[in-house]
């Protein structure tokens, strides 16, 4: 699979244009005109080239057709915004974060481990989802939490999973477990089906819905506004409600919050998540998730350089381990140009939000910037502008 063709998955609702999480990417109430606003904060000027904001604006304007789906581009240095750029959007606008939500799920798994709700990464599906034991083959029963997090359980890739559950009455969790893997265990195979099982596992382990747990343990400590929280089931008729929502986290038909992503958050919300990971799981003096988990989750456990992002790229626990202009980095990536990239040595967090290429207001692919294009922007413009 080439680096040019690979990209993080579409949610089930992105399989067809009418699906739930293919939202327009912005709230009608807060959508702005075509004017792009850019601000360079007066913080960290000794560390940030004061021309960075104008250089980024010039670059995006020179390739306006390629970056036409761009909605937000933020650069935070040492915890303070140095660049905050919006295009047809605003700081209050929420967007579908796509597979960036997988890294949110990883963080919640880490919190559950810290609190003792989960015993360890070698727990098996038979232990973690006992209500579904009768639906599992011996092979499925033996799959571990670690394999789900590293995408090495062999569960089907997205184009072999979502079309089979979307628009049906299928129990998503039962479908995943009863149909089992389509690839060999121990081999990297990007699968949102495996990510969705994490949602069921967290619900079983904590005795609470994933959203309730996330609000108390992660989102509220970060200051993420989840009121009101839309939790539409992933069905075509719920698409309008999802589009209207400010904050949203869809569920399957059985009420499990989608494990593969699809939450609606603002760019600043994503910057808060990136800063949390950069700071080793701490925010405001509170240890939200252990530093050990953040380090382990963002470290490559599978070498997958052949997929893209350079020969040293790898996959951790629902994070991508990458490099940014020679510096070790890690990223949360989502289809269509959604990204949180963290460069620890420089104290840098970069956030990108885009509309989905399925957005009817955006011309279809090819030619729309994806995460690879934004990783290049970080390598070529952002990192060179940051003084160590």
The pLDDT profile of the chain, 388 residues, written as one tens digit per residue, is 222 222 334 333 333 223 333 322 334 333 344 445 555 554 555 689 999 999 999 999 999 988 988 999 999 999 999 999 999 999 999 999 999 999 999 999 999 999 999 999 999 999 999 999 999 999 999 999 999 999 999 999 988 888 888 778 899 999 999 999 998 888 899 999 999 999 999 999 999 999 999 999 999 999 999 999 999 998 888 888 898 899 999 999 999 999 999 999 999 999 999 999 999 999 999 999 999 999 999 999 987 654 555 556 799 999 999 999 999 999 999 988 999 999 999 999 999 999 865 444 444 455 678 888 999 999 999 999 999 8
CA distances from 305 to 1, 152, 312 (A): 11, 15, 6
Residue 106's nearest CA partner among 210, 225, 1, 243 is 210
Residues in the chain: 388
**CA-to-CA distance for 305 and 264, rounded, in angstroms?**
30
Tell me the two tokens of residue 79.
């915890």
Please state the pTM of the whole predicted model: 0.89
CATH number given to 12-93+266-385: 3.40.710.10
Distant-in-sequence, close-in-space partners of 376: CB < 8 Å, separation ≥ 6: none
pLDDT tens, position by position, 18-76: 333 332 233 433 334 444 555 555 455 568 999 999 999 999 999 998 898 899 999 99
**Contacts from 130-134 at CB under 8 Å and sequence distance 24+?**
130/204, 131/204, 132/173, 132/174, 132/177
Pairing of strands 302-303, 314-315: antiparallel
Q: Long-range pairs for 48-54 at CB < 8 Å and ≥24 separation?
A: 48/75, 48/77, 48/82, 48/385, 48/386, 48/387, 49/384, 49/385, 49/386, 49/387, 51/385, 52/82, 52/83, 52/381, 52/382, 52/385, 53/82, 53/83, 53/85
């Amino acid at each position: 699979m080439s680096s040019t063709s690979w990209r993080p998955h579409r949610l089930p609702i992105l399989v067809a244009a009418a699906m739930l999480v293919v939202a327009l990417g912005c709230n009608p109430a807060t959508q702005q005109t075509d004017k792009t606003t850019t601000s360079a904060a007066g913080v960290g000027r000794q560390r940030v080239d004061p021309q960075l904001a104008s250089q980024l604006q010039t670059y995006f304007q020179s390739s306006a057709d390629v970056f036409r789906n761009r909605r937000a581009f933020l650069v935070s240095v040492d915890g303070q915004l140095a660049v905050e750029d919006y295009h047809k959007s605003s700081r209050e606008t929420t967007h579908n974060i796509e597979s960036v939500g997988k890294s949110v799920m990883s963080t919640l798994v880490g919190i559950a481990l810290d609190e003792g709700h989960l015993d360890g990464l070698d727990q098996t599906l038979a232990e973690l989802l006992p209500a579904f034991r009768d639906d599992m083959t011996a092979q499925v029963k033996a799959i571990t939490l670690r394999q789900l997090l590293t995408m090495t359980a062999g569960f089907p890739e997205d184009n072999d999973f979502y079309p089979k559950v979307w628009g049906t009455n299928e129990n998503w969790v039962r479908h995943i477990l009863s149909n089992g893997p389509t690839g060999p265990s121990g081999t990297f195979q990007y699968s949102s089906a495996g990510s969705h099982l994490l949602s069921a596992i967290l619900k079983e382990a904590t005795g609470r819905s994933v959203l309730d747990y996330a609000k108390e343990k992660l989102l509220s400590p970060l200051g993420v506004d989840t009121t009101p929280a839309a939790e539409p089931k992933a069905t075509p008729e719920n698409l309008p409600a999802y589009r209207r929502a400010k904050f949203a986290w869809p569920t399957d038909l059985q009420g499990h919050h989608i494990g593969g992503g699809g939450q609606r958050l603002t760019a600043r919300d994503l910057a808060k998540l990136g800063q949390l990971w950069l700071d080793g799981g701490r925010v405001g003096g509170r240890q939200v998730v252990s530093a050990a988990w953040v380090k382990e989750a963002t470290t490559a456990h599978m070498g997958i350089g052949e997929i893209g992002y350079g020969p040293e790229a790898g996959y951790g626990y629902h994070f991508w381990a990458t490099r940014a202009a020679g510096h070790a980095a890690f990223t949360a990536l989502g289809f269509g140009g959604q990204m949180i990239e963290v460069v620890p040595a420089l104290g840098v967090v970069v956030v990108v939000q885009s509309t989905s290429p399925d957005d009817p207001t955006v011309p279809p692919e090819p030619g729309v910037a994806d995460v690879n294009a934004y990783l290049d922007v970080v390598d070529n413009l952002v990192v060179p502008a940051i003084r160590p």
